[in-house]
Amino acid sequence: MCHLVNRIDNHKLLQIPERYYPSKVILFGEYTVLLGGHILAVPFREKFAKWTQTKTQDNRLLGYIEYLQQHNFPELNNEKLDALRHLVLNGLVLESNIPSGYGLGSSGSVVAAVFDAVSVESDPKRCIKIFQQMEAYFHNVSSGIDPLVSYFDCPILKTEGDIMLLEIEIDIAFSLYDSERKRETSHLVDYFKERMDSDPSFAKGMQKILTTNNQIIHHIRNQKPITEDLRVLSASQYEIMQAMIDEETASKWEKDTESIWKICGAGGGGYYIKFNIQQ
């Protein structure tokens, strides 16, 4: 792997990885992963982040690094974090074309890039635990999946107690619909948790969605058709998760006879997933 090598005032060296940190698409398992369900996520390499040197200072990135320093995460090298902070003060930025608030994991790429610069951990089970803590800065609650996909740049399958890096690409035809509406993930996650605690009918509906998600992932792993399950999932999300679907998108979702729609990430705006009806 190539590296950008930078020297800072204290003469310590920090190697900044010269690579891309892709965005991600959660094909199946958004929200239900917080209930213990399975999740299948894939890199979306059209959108990515990468380190670059500029003459400006990224105060948001600086604030994040200082947050990590204050919390003293044992998996992160404190000397390297301090070196990274100095580099950011001197114009190192994380350049990204991943839109924020669109469900593609913009914060996950930030977590992955910072982690890659200051840690040497490579075990996915250990990585996901620290990623959950690191991404909580952005979303309060995190599954850790977004940074994991970006960090390893491969499909991720999470089941009960197991996380697998898939060496093969997931051959499922889908496209992304742009609602042209940003949304705040943390607010939607907070709303979801509140509904789960206070609304038994919503909680029951989410258990149905969890079961369908798990079944789809099982069929994919065993190379079985998933079209009918996709229809069930789409209809269930449309009925139960109306608050996570903006009104204009809901209208298109209901009328489209050529694709099967579902939420992408937190929903509520951003991108939505459209599956090829021939699945």
Question: Which residue has 């250990």 as its token pair?
Answer: 126
Helix (H, G, I), strand (E, B) or coil at 170: coil
pLDDT at 169: 76
pLDDT digits 0-9 by tens, 61-94: 999 999 999 998 989 999 999 999 999 999 999 9
Residues of the chain with pLDDT > 90: what percent? Answer: 75
Of 13 and 202, which is predicted with more confidence? Answer: 202
Read off φ and ψ for residue 150, nearest 5 degrees. Answer: -65, -40
Arithmetic mean of pLDDT, 192-212? 96
The two three-digit tokens of residue 125, written as one number = 């089970």
pLDDT at 67: 95
Domain ranges of the chain: 3-165, 174-276
* Nearest-angstrom CA–CA distance, 105 and 94: 14
> Does 12 score more than 60 pLDDT?
no
Lowest mean pLDDT: which of 1-5, 64-68, 235-239?
Answer: 1-5
Q: Is 174-276 a CATH 2.30.40.10 domain?
A: no
Position 38 confidence tier, pLDDT thresholds 50, 70, 90: very high
The two three-digit tokens of residue 163, written as one number = 């996380």
pLDDT at 7: 41
pLDDT at 14: 85
Partners of 22 in the β-ladder: 48
pLDDT digits 0-9 by tens, 122-180: 999 999 999 999 999 997 778 899 999 999 999 999 988 789 999 877 888 899 999 99
Please state, rounded to an integer, the average pLDDT across all residues of the chain. 90
Instruction: Record the pTM.
Output: 0.86
> Does 183 score more than 60 pLDDT?
yes
Closest C-alpha among 118, 114, 122 to residue 94: 114
* Nearest-angstrom CA–CA distance, 65 and 77: 12
Closest C-alpha among 176, 209, 179, 169 to residue 276: 176
pLDDT at 170: 83
Q: Which CATH architecture has domain 3-165?
A: 2-Layer Sandwich (3.30)
pLDDT at 13: 62
pLDDT at 278: 65
Of 59 and 142, which is predicted with more confidence? Answer: 59
pLDDT at 221: 87
* Nearest-angstrom CA–CA distance, 29 and 212: 9
